[in-house]
Amino acid sequence: MKTELNYLDRNEFNFEPSQEVKDAIKNFDLNKLCFYTRIYDQGKKSIFSVFLSEQYSIDEKQIVLGYGAEDLLKMAVHYFLTGSDGNKTMLIPKFSWWYYKSIADEVDGRTLQYPVYETEDSFAYDFDGLRRMIAEENPKILLVASPNNPTGNGLTPDELEQLVGMVPATTVVLVDEAYASYVTEDISYIRNLIAKYPNIIFCRTLSKFYGLPGLRLGFGFIGKGETMERFSRYANKYLGYDRLSEEIGIAALKSDAHYREIARVMDEARRMYTDEIGSLPGFKVYKSMANFILIKYPIELKAALQQEFAGQSYKVKFMDEPDINSHMRITLGRREQNRMVADIILKVAKR
């Protein structure tokens, strides 16, 4: 009998959707597929954007939808790096998702990494170094991930505002908040920042906190002004989105309590890893604000760790990027999965 693999290397969801999500699928009226989700008589983009407008208290015109945050990021990078001003420079964190550079490369963009440094228990953006880079390079896009993958560090609303204040008005601050719901339930700062700054875009998704990566539904919030209005026309789906996906998305956002309980299970795992693995010689567990945790290990144990994980049918992400190649990123899963991962590490470390 073949043992099922436990995928803890992709930051996907190892729990069940909420009952509200299940009911939305089970009770979906198929006749609704005969109609677009665009609300013509009200000039609204879709039922999902209207719901988001009400939940976030943000003008529906400042909302964009996409096939996950991935799609929104791609649209924004492609749009702004192919503008008439010819500026094709984008700044990204030193340790970050490989996809950022990839989508810039698709339009011959110039991607530069700004400094990220290691702290006692986390990572942080080097604001002074970033400020110098902005002055020297005059980027078209400053991309910020909060929380950042794979380091797990995030930014406060005040720090986000500080970053926006560093850049000229012609630079777009693109904020990837795929994991942000793990940090705080407060969403008011988004409304405040897009009201104050016309050059900021927030990208969010239902893939991480709400555990629906297969739904491919993301949403974003943009600043006011002519530039963002043009981007909105470029990004938005004129006839709405996917009727079934939108109703599932609304159901997910309405069942926040279900996902907050799962977040508490992840908090337990963070504490377990910190207490049990962080105390091992040569290991370091970093503070994480996302649905994964980054652990540094003695590099001489890499082969043994890989072998033991494979033998137990578990997959974790062994990083191979420069300066972070003795680290593994582990998705936070169910309690029994988290326990097994810790036991595997303990077994190898104590041989």
Helix or strand holding residue 331 (H, E): strand 327-331
Tell me the pLDDT tens digit for each residue of 281-327. 999 999 999 999 999 999 999 999 999 999 999 999 999 998 999 99
Pair 148, 67 in one domain: yes
Judgement on whether residues 88 and 237 belong to the same structural domain of the protein = yes
* Residues 95 and 125: beta-carbon distance below 8 Å: no
Question: What's the domain range around 189?
Answer: 19-254
Is the same domain home to 120 and 132?
A: yes
CB contact burial 122-159 (16+ within 10 A = b; e otherwise): ebbbeeeebbebbeebebbbbbbbbbbbbbbbbbeeee
Residue 57 resides in a domain: yes
Q: Rounded to two decimals, what is the model's pTM?
A: 0.95
The answer to whether residue 343 sits within a structural domain is: yes
Q: pLDDT tens, 186-208?
A: 999 999 999 999 999 999 999 99
Query: 216's torsion region: left (phi>0), alpha (psi -120 to 50) or beta?
Result: left
Same domain, 163 and 309: no
Query: Does 208 fall in a domain?
Result: yes
Q: Are residues 278 and 305 in the same domain?
A: yes
pLDDT tens for 121-161 read 999 999 999 999 999 999 999 999 999 999 999 999 999 99
Angle (CA) 159-162-166 rounded to 5° is 140
Does the residue 119 lie in any domain?
yes
Residue 1 counted as domain residue: no
Tell me, what CATH number does 46's domain have?
A: 3.40.640.10
- Which three-class secondary structure state does DSSP give residue 302? helix
Q: Are residues 211 and 310 in the same domain?
A: no
Q: Do 100 and 147 have their domain in common?
A: yes
In terms of phi and psi (left: phi > 0; alpha: psi -120 to 50; beta: otherwise), the region of 120 is alpha
Asked if residue 43 has pLDDT above 80, the reply is no
Please indicate, yes or no, whether residues 231 and 84 belong to a single structural domain of this protein. yes
> What six digits make up the tokens of 309?
């994980």
Q: Are residues 229 and 274 in the same domain?
A: no
Do both 207 and 112 map to the same domain?
Answer: yes
